[in-house]
């Protein structure tokens, strides 16, 4: 945002002229609730009392309706549509006041009382991109009234504000819709992982596909899969990386179970062939064994020679273990418990091949494994679809912010 420029790069049709350079203080004043002391709060709950830690979340304190009515009559109170702003701790969090009976913690939560001199939807977009100046405090930052009032803002005429604010409001609504669907599906997956795999001490899952019965059996990974990793690449140097050739995959190239083949590193062919044990095949499962443990993916649609770097581990299942099923095992509590055990007390978390060979978990027959793996694969695809849409829409939003404001 450059306030020296007075015309945005992109504009809605029908609008012209320069934007006006102002400060927030030119548009209004900072308002806040009177302090409500701890002994005045109620545990029974009548009117929610939001502190900075619960701002925008579920309240954990309340004030009486009588006290709320008294304070509302005496002191400033937000009106529907006002944008409440966190002025301490996580600076700049914004919540739109919906008009419910709620009370907010003194000067930690403030709003600009502007009496309609600026469109709130436009102001909300401005808040999302502003860089507050003069923040004070070392560990806990504080945004004082003067910081807010001295903040510079460029504004067009009211109708253009409405158009801009409405556009970003629709964009935010789309992002929120995809986020809600993403979160809902993620919660469904979490619940199904708990119900479609046997609980600790049991051998039969709570939920099962029709036609399957019998107990699951406990196995050690080393008995039903080939496990490979390596400690290093024989002094592989950064300058050996090239722009083409066999791909070398690291944990940073995997996001939500998907390999970003455009970002993988490449190494000379002679480096690739010196380690045949970690030459990748389709249906191999790979994950991080150093640092941020886990983050698995299934290698699929392999179109070039590929290997893993020294921070990764490869699991190549036999006919007794389906890759899609094992990929989900790596997202269950039993694997998280293994990671937790290895992380505890370690400055550099690491999973050894010996750890994985002894990794013990339960499996059904391969046909049921395939059914479970396919179910979760479809669920993961839906989750990733919404994740990609969220990323795409956020990128559009950021690009528009840079071009539609001055």
CATH superfamily of 217-363: DNA methylase specificity domains (3.90.220.20)
Beta-bridged to residue 249, according to DSSP, are: 308
pLDDT of residue 344: 67
In SS3 terms, the chain reads as CCCCCCCCCCCCCCCCCCCEEEEHHHHCEEEECCCCCHHHEECCCCEEEECCCCCCCCCCCEECHHHHHHHHHHCCCCCCCCEEEECECCCCCEEECCCCCCEECHHHEEEEECCCCCCHHHHHHHHHHCCCCCCECCCCCECCHHHHHCCEEEECCHHHHHHHHHHHHHHHHHHHHHHHHHHHHHHHHHHHHHHCCCCCCCCCCCCCCCCCCCCCEEEEHHHHEEEEECCCCCCCCHHHCCCCCCEEECHHHEECCEECCCCCEECCHHHHHCCHHHCCCCCCEEEECECCCEEEEECCCCCCCEEECCCEEEEEECCCCCHHHHHHHCCCHHHHHHHHHHHCCCCCCECCHHHHHCCEEEECCHHHHHHHHHHHHHHHHHHHHHHHHHHHHHHHHHHHHHHHCC
**CA 149 to each of CA 113, 138, 153: distance values in angstroms, whole numbers, following the listed order:** 11, 22, 10
State how far the Cα of 97 lies from the Cα of 79, in Å rounded to an integer: 7
**CA 316 to each of CA 197, 289, 324, 338: distance values in angstroms, whole numbers, following the listed order:** 21, 15, 12, 19
What are the phi and psi torsion angles at 187 (to 5°)? -70, -35
pTM: 0.85
Residue ranges covered by each domain of the chain: 1-15+158-210+366-406, 20-155, 217-363
What are the phi and psi torsion angles at 128 (to 5°)? -70, -15
State how far the Cα of 185 lies from the Cα of 187, in Å rounded to an integer: 5
C-alpha 147 chain-centroid distance: 30
CATH value of 20-155 in 3.30.950.10, 3.40.50.970, 3.30.565.10, 3.90.220.20: 3.90.220.20
Query: Over its length of 406 residues, how does the chain's per-residue pLDDT go in tens digits?
Result: 444 558 999 999 999 999 999 999 999 999 998 877 666 677 777 899 888 888 888 888 888 888 888 888 888 889 899 999 999 888 889 999 988 889 988 788 999 999 999 999 999 999 999 988 777 655 667 889 999 999 999 999 999 999 999 999 999 999 999 999 999 999 999 999 999 999 999 999 999 999 999 999 999 999 999 999 877 777 788 889 999 999 999 999 999 999 999 999 999 999 999 999 999 999 999 999 988 899 999 999 898 999 999 999 999 999 999 999 999 999 999 999 998 887 766 677 888 899 999 999 999 999 999 999 999 999 999 999 999 999 999 999 999 999 999 8
pLDDT of residue 247: 96
Beta-bridged to residue 21, according to DSSP, are: 154
State how far the Cα of 198 lies from the Cα of 334, in Å rounded to an integer: 10
What are the phi and psi torsion angles at 390 (to 5°)? -60, -45
State how far the Cα of 248 lies from the Cα of 230, in Å rounded to an integer: 13
CA-closest candidate to residue 336, choices 224, 231, 205, 193: 193
Q: Which CATH architecture does the domain made up of 1-15+158-210+366-406 adopt?
A: Orthogonal Bundle (1.10)
pLDDT of residue 2: 47
State how far the Cα of 260 lies from the Cα of 167, in Å rounded to an integer: 32
Is the fold of 1-15+158-210+366-406 the same as that of 20-155? no
pLDDT of residue 281: 97
């Amino acid at each position: 945002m450059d306030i020296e420029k007075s015309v945005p790069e992109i504009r809605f049709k029908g609008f012209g002229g320069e934007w006006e350079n102002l400060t927030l203080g030119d548009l209004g004043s900072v308002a806040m609730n009177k302090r409500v002391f701890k002994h005045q709060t109620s545990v029974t709950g009548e009117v929610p009392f939001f502190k900075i830690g619960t701002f925008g979340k579920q309240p954990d304190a309340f004030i009486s309706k009588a006290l709320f009515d008294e304070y509302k009559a005496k002191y400033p109170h937000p009106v529907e549509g006002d944008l409440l702003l966190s002025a301490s701790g996580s600076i700049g969090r914004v919540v739109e006041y919906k008009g419910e009976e709620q009370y907010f913690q003194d000067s930690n939560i403030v709003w600009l009382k502007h009496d309609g001199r600026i469109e709130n939807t436009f102001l909300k977009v401005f808040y999302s991109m502003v860089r507050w100046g003069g923040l004070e405090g070392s560990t806990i930052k504080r945004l004082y009234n003067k910081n807010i009032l001295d903040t510079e803002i460029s504004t067009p005429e009211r109708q253009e504000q409405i158009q801009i604010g409405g556009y970003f409001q629709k964009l935010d609504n789309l992002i929120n819709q995809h986020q809600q669907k993403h979160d809902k599906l993620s919660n469904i997956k979490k619940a199904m992982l708990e119900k479609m795999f046997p609980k600790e001490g049991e051998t039969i899952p709570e939920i099962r596909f029709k036609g399957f019965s019998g107990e699951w059996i406990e196995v050690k990974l080393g008995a039903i899969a080939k496990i490979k990793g390596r400690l290093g690449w024989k002094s592989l140097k950064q300058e050996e990386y090239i722009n083409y050739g066999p791909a070398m995959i690291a944990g940073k190239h995997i996001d939500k179970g998907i390999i970003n083949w455009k970002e993988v590193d490449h190494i000379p062919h002679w480096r690739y062939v010196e380690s045949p044990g970690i030459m990748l095949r389709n249906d191999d499962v790979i994950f991080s064994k150093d640092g941020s443990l886990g983050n698995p993916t299934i290698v699929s649609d392999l179109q070039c020679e590929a290997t893993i770097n020294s921070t990764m581990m490869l699991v190549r299942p036999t006919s007794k273990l389906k890759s899609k099923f094992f990929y989900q095992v790596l997202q269950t509590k039993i694997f998280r418990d293994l990671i937790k055990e290895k992380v505890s007390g370690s400055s550099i978390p690491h999973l050894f091949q010996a750890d994985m060979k002894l990794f013990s978990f339960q499996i059904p027959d391969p046909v049921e494994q395939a059914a479970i793996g396919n179910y979760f694969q479809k669920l993961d695809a839906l989750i990733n679809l919404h994740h990609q849409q969220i990323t795409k829409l956020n990128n559009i939003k950021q690009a528009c912010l840079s071009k539609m404001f001055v």
